[in-house]
Amino acid sequence: MEPVEVKVSDLNVWIGGSHILKGVSMKAPPGAVTAVMGPSGSGKSTLIRVINRLIDLIPGARVEGKVLLGSLDALRADPYEVRRRTGMVFQEPNPFPHMTIYDNVAIGPRIHGLARGEELDRLVEWALKMAHLWDEVKDRLRDYPHQLSGGQKQRLSLARALALKPRVLLLDEPTANIDPVSTVKIERSIMEYAKTTMATVIIVTHTPQQAARISDHILFIYQGRVVEYGPTREVVLHPRHDLTRKFLGGEV
Amino acid sequence: MPDWRRVKDRLFTAATVALALLAVAPLFHILATVVVRGGSVILRGGVSFFTDPPAYPGSGELGGVGPALLGTLWLGLVTSLIGVPLALLTAIYIVEYREGRLARVARVFTSSLLEVPTVLIGMLVFLVVVVPMGRYSLAAGSIALAIVMLPYTVSYVERALEGVPRTYREAGYSIGMTRAQVVFQVVMGIASRGVAAGILIGVAKVLSETAPLLFTIGSARGSYPTGPQSLLEPGDALPLLIFQFAQTPYSNWQDLAWGAALLLTLIILAIFTLLRLLFREVKL
């Protein structure tokens, strides 16, 4: 599978009359983690929901601009095709409560007819290992997720997304409500997935610390506008913009 | 000197308890009467109470409510076959396709249906089904009951579907599911207990309905609906039998009405027990 660069140009989004994203342009290269950071309400979540077209589900949303996933024009393409190539992890852990742990991971490959039988077993194992959850659940794959802790549920959500081997992985503050041990495991998974499969990973975070720990590039958004974009080291150590400096210092 | 505040408090408490008892007294009276009078009839009749047709009026013999019981079971089955898919699809349409104008119309119509007297629904089916067919039939009764069932089941299923948090729908779409896959594999799966409850409540509701049957199934006292072909024949049902036999001057028919009343109560009770069991464990 070939690497896919995500390229957003001059993106404007309105939801019910309010202008959420104002001319956002950005790039996220394959094989790397790009962190989108900014205070809450700055439009970070909206940005990644445009990339996988979940924005279509929000009533009254209007989108202008261009989003490219490699050569795929995401805003013109069939939304189901776009979502199939992208994976997403949400802020709230949301494994399907009526499906077993195994089925939660297998559902994606199943609905797209990608694997079955032993091949599917191997894929499920691979995804759970990639999400650093395998050792904790390998003996209870037939159990339901309500017996898992919040952090384990989130890693199961991650495994569900990974099972489709998405070329683009989107994460919307995946560790905001998660215990520190699971947070470390999720961060490690994300970095490993990007490096080993040359996937493009975009993670929304509201903590500069997380951005600094795991990302290769940082995009800082404030009130719907891009304030600063660059390699993580540069943005953290030598922010060019005053707002960035304040955000990093916890003042915004 | 007496403590007036305490006296007033006691008086108020006593009045509250007395009124509460007054409110539940009729329920206990009804249940007790049905159990005592119906119970003795069923014990006297034994197995033949459930299987035999009613004896001749005033003959002194009892007979049974076999045809009416079988009729009620058929009505329950056929009503569900018509009403459940209709109600499920309506509820899904109302909740999952709410942006459409038609969905709002459907919601208003089904909830208005709740306020239509069920006897009118019986008359409508009489005009639209019974008259053209030229005869009463269990099928006509089932159609009337399905219409009565619709708003109850729709509103329960609607609430169950609405109770599924948005994040699960987003998760479904995020792995490339189509809208139909999200509805049937995710939303319906998570809401399955609520959906089942809506169906059971609808069935329990219609099984005890009398008015929609008055103009639709006729009262074929002696014929057993044994197979699908009997659906096009007139039939009988427990609530209808109770309504009609209780008003006759024949003591053996009045006894059958009491027995049928207990039987119907037990059927409804069984459905609600099933509901309770279904709802004991809900984990999200």
Q: CB neighbours of B253 closer than 8 A, spacing ≥ 6?
A: B54, B57, B245
Q: What are phi and psi of B90, to 5 degrees?
A: -60, -45
Contact in structure between A6 and A51 (CB atoms under 8 Å) = yes
Distance (Å, rounded) from C-alpha B181 to C-alpha B240?
43
CA distance B9 to chain A (A): 48
- Chain A contact for B266 (CB, 8 A cutoff): no
- B71 within a domain of the structure (yes/no): yes
A-B Cβ pairs (cutoff 8 Å, strict): 69
From chain B, the residues in CB contact with A161 under 8 A are 174-175
Asked if B284 reaches chain A (Cβ–Cβ under 8 Å), the answer is yes
Q: Nearest-CA residue of chain A relative to B188?
A: A98
Count the domains in chain B: 1
B202, part of any domain? yes
Q: What pLDDT shows up at residue B280?
A: 59
- Residue A29 is predicted with a pLDDT of 96
Average pLDDT of chain A to the nearest whole number: 94
Q: Is B179 exposed, middle or buried (0-12, 13-18, 19+ CB in 10 A)?
A: middle
| B222 in contact with A, Cβ within 8 Å | no
Kindly state the average pLDDT of the residues A25-49. Answer: 93
Q: Is A82 exposed, middle or buried (0-12, 13-18, 19+ CB in 10 A)?
A: buried
Reference A8, options A69, A84, A66; nearest CA is: A66
B176 touches chain A (CB under 8 A): yes
The values of phi and psi at residue A220, to 5°, are -105, 120
Cα B174 to the center of its chain, rounded Å: 40
CATH number of the domain where residue B234 is located: 1.10.3720.10
The bridge status of strand A6-15 relative to strand A18-28 is antiparallel
Confidence check: pLDDT of A1 > 90: no
Q: Specify the length of chain B in residues.
A: 284
- 3 state SS of B262: helix
Strand partners for A64: A12
Best of A69, A86, A103, A111 to mutate (most B CBs within 10 Å, chain B): A111
pLDDT in tens, B202-226: 999 999 899 999 999 988 877 788 7
Residue B91 resides in a domain: yes
Q: What is the pLDDT of residue B225?
A: 80
Q: CA of B179 to nearest chain A CA: how many angstroms apart? A: 10
Is residue A16 a contact partner of residue A46, using CB atoms and an 8 Å limit?
A: no
Q: Which residues in chain A are contacts of B186 at CB distance < 8 A?
A: 96
- State the average pLDDT over residues A210-223: 94
On chain A, the residues whose CB falls within 8 A of the CB of B160 are none
What percentage of chain B has pLDDT greater than the value 90? 78
Residue B60's region, left for phi above 0, alpha for psi from -120 to 50, else beta, is left
Q: Is the predicted pLDDT of residue B283 greater than 60, yes or no?
A: no
Q: Mutation test of the interface with chain A: which of B104, B169, B175, choosing the one with the most A Cβ atoms within 10 A?
A: B175
Residue B212 within any structural domain of the chain? yes
In a domain, B15, yes or no: no
The pLDDT of residue B94 is above 80: yes
Note the pLDDT of residue A241. Answer: 87
Residue range(s) defining the domain that contains residue B89: 66-160+192-280
Task: Please report which helix (H) or strand (E) contains residue A68, including its range.
Answer: strand A61-69
The span from the CA of A43 to the CA of A57, in Å, is 16
Mutation target among B174, B185, B186, B187 for the A interface, most CBs of A within 10 A: B174
User: What CATH homologous superfamily does A6-94+166-248 map to?
Assistant: P-loop containing nucleotide triphosphate hydrolases (3.40.50.300)
Nearest CA among B204, B168, B219 for reference residue B278: B204
In a 3-state reduction of DSSP, which class is residue B171? Answer: helix
- ipTM comes to 0.94
Continuous H helices in chain A: 44-51, 79-85, 101-111, 117-130, 134-137, 150-162, 180-197, 208-214, 232-237, 242-248
**How do residues B105-137 score in pLDDT, each as one tens digit?**
888 899 899 899 999 999 999 999 999 999 999
Q: How confident is the model at residue B282 (pLDDT cuts 50, 70, 90)?
A: very low
B284: nearest CB among A86, A97, A111? A97
Contact with chain B for residue A45, Cβ under 8 A: no
- pLDDT of A107 reads 97
Return the pLDDT at A201: 97
Residue B95 within any structural domain of the chain = yes
Q: What is the predicted pLDDT for the residue at B79?
A: 96
Which residues in B lie closer than 8 A to residue A58 (C-beta atoms)?
none
CB-CB under 8 Å, B99 with A57: no
pLDDT tens per residue, range B18-64: 999 999 999 999 999 999 999 999 999 999 999 999 999 888 889 99
